[in-house]
Amino acid sequence: MELRGVLLGKHESGKTSVINSILGNTFTEVKREGLIDGTKLSLIETPGWWNTFSLNDLSKISKQELVRRVSLVTPGPHVILITIRADSVFSNTDEKFLEDYMELLGPKIWTRTLVIFTRGDVVPKETIERNIQEAGSGLSRLIEKCENNYHVFNNKMQQDRTQVTELIKKIQGIVRRNEESYLEIDMGKVKDVNEQWEETERRARSRKSRVEHQRSKVQEKAPVQRLEEIGVVLMGWVLSGKSSTGNIILNRDEFVIGRKTGKAMRGHGEVDGRNITVLDTPGWWKYIEAELNPDFVRSTILESVLESKSPQALLLVIPGDTSFQEEQKRIVEENLSVLGEDVWRHTIVLFTWGDRFADISIEQHIESEGDALQWLVEKCRNRYHVFDNTNKTNRDQVSELFQIIDEMAAENSTFFFIEKTNERNDKQDNPILEIRLKDINVYLEEGFKMKAEEIRDTIENLCMQIIDENDEIRSKEIGVKFRDQGPDHQEPLPGNNTQQVN
């Protein structure tokens, strides 16, 4: 008999290790096959996800890739294997996300599902079972949905074949209880996804060709000189990978990662023979309007940039595997508006965590995600780059980024900062401020493992305070003006309010 299975799980949950342990090799192909005690076994590894809080936070191409991967096990999988690290917390949020994610595969899926707890070498089986039995927990409800089908795996003991034999027996039991049927794949849906995929690939190739042509034109028309000093400002939402990006650029652990950047931090170093300055600024919340982010976020960005030498580039850091919709477009626009409209001429979109989809180009992500992300990239004159934040030794990605900055500097001129104050922000005249408290709370919970109820109270009080004191709020804005002359031109811009930042 042939058994066909699909593995789902977060990034770093041990999916690949489980397949290697079962099939007894260390290959990394998406589809793997082998014989286990005379039984042919086919396993498909699907894309992972990080601590996202809702299905909407996954990129469109991530969802399409899931459907495409599952369709590789024709005519359909007998079992769905969910990998969960035994040494991690499985929250109610994880449960909700997993429920929504599983629905992408179709109905009646839970009777065919088995949970594999990885890292059984770190957490004893008895502890795992106590966690499962904890009444009212998300993990307890998950195992109940799976009809108590779970297995503990020690991925470091690949020579222990008894754990594999036991797993195969449990899978065979699931297949028997389902009368040896398999999960039928909606081939109509697969067909639609494949057609969308092909169209996306076509547009992605076209975009990549246009960008390459645009860069060649810049190199032809403007003298691209190697900048000996480069100032970089990192901006983006919380957990986007800004600090990690700064560390990769400087080739050392300059910025603390894994927590929210509370204040602007500056790092210096010599990289590729250049003097590099990196300014890591506080992030904003992905789903909170700019008016509801703490005042210090934009004011700190403003003050730290004013105190700096004129930077050559602003890197807008965005995770390369998450959704970017109209809401994010609006929030990004609002947060960058403090630097003035001309800042877009000096902005590069830097997609982080490019390792998560090794077989998908960033152009495919841009094209599949839709109008909002395409608008952002084009607003930055199609200047974008991808970082693999897991590979700090890859210095080519840093050199390529510097080359884009060199080209941008050749195309643009030195810029100045002019501080000004508005009597009132028009948006503050409207007391009705959009806020998605539920999503925000969950995002905070996942980012910093804080209690959702405490966060909700804090944010609700903050919102009420902002609304009550709405008339007293005054906001600062910063305008950015540019010179058409080259970077060596020293003549200052006219005007009493102009201050050149050296």
Which of the listed ranges 94-103, 221-230, 405-414 does the model predict with the highest average pLDDT? 94-103
Question: Region 438-442: what's the mean pLDDT?
Answer: 46
- Rounded to a whole number of angstroms, the distance between the first and last alpha carbons of the chain is 73
Q: Whole-angstrom Cα distance, residue 308 to residue 304?
A: 6
Non-local (6+) Cβ contacts of 445 within 8 A are 53, 91, 93, 451, 452, 455
Q: Where in the chain is the domain with CATH 3.40.50.300?
A: 2-185, 192-422+475-482
Q: What sign does the CA torsion over 18, 19, 22, 25 have?
A: negative
In degrees rounded to 5, what are phi and psi of residue 248?
-65, -40
Percent of the chain at pLDDT exceeding 70: 77
To the nearest whole number, what is the mean pLDDT of the chain? Answer: 82
pLDDT of the residue at 159 = 76
Whole-number Å distance between alpha carbons of 391 and 327: 31
Nearest-angstrom CA–CA distance, 265 and 246: 10
Both structure tokens of 314: 């602003």
Give residue-wise pLDDT tens across range 2-36. Answer: 999 999 999 889 999 999 999 887 676 889 999 98
Q: What are 236-294's pLDDT values in tens digits?
A: 998 899 999 999 999 999 998 877 777 889 999 999 999 999 999 988 888 887 767 66
pLDDT score recorded for residue 469: 53
Identify the H or E element spanning 384.
strand 384-386
CA distance linking residue 238 with residue 270, whole number of Å = 27
**Lookup: tokens for 258:** 């894994």
Tokens 């952002």 — which residue? 376
Predicted local distance difference test score (pLDDT) of residue 429? 43
Task: Indicate the CATH number for domain 2-185.
Answer: 3.40.50.300
Is it true that the peptide bond before 47 is cis, omega within 30 degrees of 0? no
pTM for the predicted model, two decimal places = 0.79
According to CATH, what is the number of the domain 192-422+475-482? 3.40.50.300
Q: How far apart are CA 391 and CA 111, in angstroms?
A: 39
